[in-house]
Amino acid sequence: MEEGDPALIAAALGDIARARGMSQLAADTGLAREALYRSLSERGNPEFATILKVVDALGLRLQITAKQAA
């Protein structure tokens, strides 16, 4: 995965979501199942709030770290 590629990050979350059950994820996040499929695809462009809801519902944590100087 290219570092920082938003489409691949969303698609990776989509893979995890489908493996765990998209219907349950929809119920846990309050988002429509169809919207989740669309957002969490390689062509999707989810809002940051959607990413946060999905990450939380999947029991994951989003972590931001400082870049190391070259």
Q: Distance (Å, rounded) from C-alpha 54 to C-alpha 59?
A: 9
Its pTM stands at: 0.83
Query: Between 55 and 4, whose confidence is greater?
Result: 55
The torsion region of residue 63 among left (phi > 0), alpha (psi -120 to 50) and beta comes to beta
Residue pLDDT, tens place only, 16-41: 999 999 999 999 999 999 999 999 98
Residue 3 pLDDT class (50, 70, 90 cuts): low
Domain extents in the chain = 6-57
Residue 29, classed as helix, strand or coil, is helix
